[in-house]
């Protein structure tokens, strides 16, 4: 049998680009889907036959029954929300047992992390998802986090570690902000109970993945969030706490990254952002309303994790070019083209005044850039049934060609609706 491609899929903007839909499509031709960073801050949605599935921690590959899924070493795991997510999937007819594993090196998101994040957000607002992601990654960097594999050491050991955490770190918060953390005894017991429910799910598959990548192929590394939310390359400090770009997959994949055959970058046909931070092409009220939708449709621009209305604007070609470059993308997937139908003109930012094709490292500088737009004549009608490039309206083709030019990579996939089948491949 011919070797399957090993693929990395990443978002090119501020998350919610429609990665899940593209990953679901590409999953047909791979065997293993591994989430490489982030945690329950993600919301990845796919529609199948009118039924909607929203994944937060579980890799999107779970929606295809024969595929194996791994939550990689670079992810942070909230066991309680994972169990809730699995219950929901079960109620939707998805069998996960025997198909899902977690790398023992993945860090646990403790209830303490959420409490700390709430305090931070009240002083230093980022507009996070309050899923404890930042504090969990901070503990990892401080080397006081608990890895999921450590739960096999038993309750007394975990209690001891939690006690140490309270003494060394927790006390700083509880004394200063005058609140109490849940007792380590209860937290340790809850963690163990969760593990009992999950069964034998913590498995080190690094050697196996290496072997598969070299022989049969068929590994898909699923990114969460997006390039502009990268802790290193995003709009710091208004970012998430992990490395979201293709290179970030090294956090979860203990293997030669040259074994990847393709890197696919996902972009919407316009831009969105949730939370605070620079957004050069953010639209005026009227534009935002048109791009966001009223909220009546599941796919209107309201967060899959927090329900917050997403900020909307025109596609930013400067960010697109930069993100395509730093991820080294081979192929571009463009989602939600159907949403632009009826909007006239469609604007596309092609450079920033005086900065041209450069994303400044200073957030305050990016906040003040002035995008230069090209106007594209709009197109009309319902394009959701279209499956061939030839049938796409002429004006939409002109827009896509310009996007391709700015990205420097070919558009290989076009989303024309939320369903798994609503896709044009080129």
Residues labelled catalytic: 16, 44
335 is a site residue for ligand GDP (CB under 6 A): yes
Among 6, 128, 281, 323, interactor with ligand IMO by CB under 6 A: 128
Among 6, 37, 41, 252, interactor with ligand IMO by CB under 6 A: 41
Min dist. Cβ of residue 302 to ligand IMO (A): 12
418 is a site residue for Mg ion (CB under 5 A): no
- How far is 282 from 314, CA to CA, in rounded Å? 7
420 is a site residue for ligand GDP (CB under 6 A): no
Min dist. Cβ of residue 234 to Mg ion (A): 16
Instruction: Give which of ligand GDP, ligand IMO, Mg ion, none residue 39 binds (C-beta under 5 to 8 Å, depending on kind).
Output: none
Among 229, 383, 392, 396, interactor with ligand IMO by CB under 6 A: 229
Structure tokens at 323: 């993100």
241 is a site residue for ligand IMO (CB under 6 A): yes
- How far is 224 from 266, CA to CA, in rounded Å? 11
The window from 39-47, 103-111, 206-214, 247-255 that contacts ligand IMO (CB under 6 A) reads 39-47
Among 129, 206, 267, 407, interactor with ligand IMO by CB under 6 A: 129
Min dist. Cβ of residue 157 to ligand GDP (A): 36
- How far is 183 from 66, CA to CA, in rounded Å? 41
43 is a site residue for Mg ion (CB under 5 A): yes
Alpha-carbon dihedral sign for residues 144, 145, 147, 151: positive
43 is a site residue for ligand GDP (CB under 6 A): yes
30 is a site residue for ligand IMO (CB under 6 A): no
Q: Among residues 59 and 283, whose Cβ is nearest to ligand IMO? A: 59
Please report, as residue ranges, which positions from 338 to 377 form the binding site for ligand GDP (by CB under 6 A). Answer: 338-339
134 is a site residue for ligand IMO (CB under 6 A): yes
16 is a site residue for ligand IMO (CB under 6 A): yes
Min dist. Cβ of residue 207 to ligand IMO (A): 28
Instruction: Give which of ligand GDP, ligand IMO, Mg ion, none residue 235 binds (C-beta under 5 to 8 Å, depending on kind).
Output: none
Among 18, 170, 265, 275, interactor with ligand IMO by CB under 6 A: 275
55 is a site residue for ligand IMO (CB under 6 A): no
99 is a site residue for ligand GDP (CB under 6 A): no
- Contact (CB, 8 A) for 220 and 5: no
Min dist. Cβ of residue 116 to ligand GDP (A): 25
Min dist. Cβ of residue 9 to ligand IMO (A): 11
16 is a site residue for Mg ion (CB under 5 A): yes
Min dist. Cβ of residue 136 to Mg ion (A): 19
Contacts with ligand IMO, residue ranges (CB under 6 A)? 11, 14-16, 41-44, 126-129, 131, 133-134, 224-226, 229, 240-241, 274-275
């Amino acid at each position: 049998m011919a070797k399957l491609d090993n693929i990395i899929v990443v978002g090119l903007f501020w998350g919610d680009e429609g990665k899940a839909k593209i990953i679901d499509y590409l999953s047909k031709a791979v065997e293993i889907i591994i989430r490489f960073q982030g945690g329950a801050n993600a919301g990845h949605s796919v529609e199948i036959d009118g039924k909607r599935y929203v994944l937060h921690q579980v890799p999107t590959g779970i929606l295809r029954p024969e595929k194996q899924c791994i939550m990689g070493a670079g992810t942070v795991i909230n066991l309680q929300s994972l169990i809730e997510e699995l219950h929901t999937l079960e109620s939707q007819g998805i069998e996960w047992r025997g198909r899902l594993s977690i790398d023992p090196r993945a860090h646990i998101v403790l209830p303490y992390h959420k409490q700390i994040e709430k305090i931070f957000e009240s002083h230093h607002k980022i507009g996070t998802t309050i899923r404890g992601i930042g504090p969990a990654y901070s503990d990892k960097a401080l080397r006081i986090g608990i890895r999921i594999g450590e739960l096999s050491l038993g309750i007394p050991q975990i209690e001891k570690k939690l006690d140490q955490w309270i003494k060394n770190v927790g006390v700083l918060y509880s004394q200063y902000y005058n609140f109490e953390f849940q007792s380590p005894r209860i937290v340790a017991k809850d963690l163990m109970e969760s593990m009992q429910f999950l069964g034998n799910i913590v498995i080190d598959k690094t050697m196996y993945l290496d072997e598969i990548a070299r022989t049969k192929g068929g590994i898909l590394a699923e990114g969460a969030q997006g390039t502009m939310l990268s802790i290193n390359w995003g709009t710091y400090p208004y970012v998430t706490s992990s490395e979201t770009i293709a290179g970030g997959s090294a956090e979860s994949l203990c293997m030669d990254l040259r074994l990847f055959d393709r890197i696919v970058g996902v972009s919407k046909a316009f831009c969105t952002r949730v939370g605070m931070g620079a957004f050069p092409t953010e639209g005026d009220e009227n534009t935002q309303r048109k791009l966001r939708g009223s909220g009546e449709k599941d796919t209107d621009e309201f967060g899959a994790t927090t329900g917050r209305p997403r900020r909307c604007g025109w596609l930013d070609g400067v960010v697109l070019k930069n993100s395509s470059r730093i991820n080294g993308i081979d192929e571009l997937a463009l989602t939600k083209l159907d949403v632009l139908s009826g909007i006239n003109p469609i604007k596309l930012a092609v450079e920033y005044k005086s900065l041209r094709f450069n994303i400044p490292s200073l957030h305050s500088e990016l906040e003040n850039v002035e995008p230069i737009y090209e106007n594209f004549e709009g197109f009309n009608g319902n394009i959701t049934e279209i499956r061939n490039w030839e049938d796409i309206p002429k004006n939409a083709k002109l827009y896509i060609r310009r996007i391709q030019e700015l990205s420097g990579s070919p558009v290989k996939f076009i989303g024309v609706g939320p369903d798994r089948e609503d896709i044009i491949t080129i």
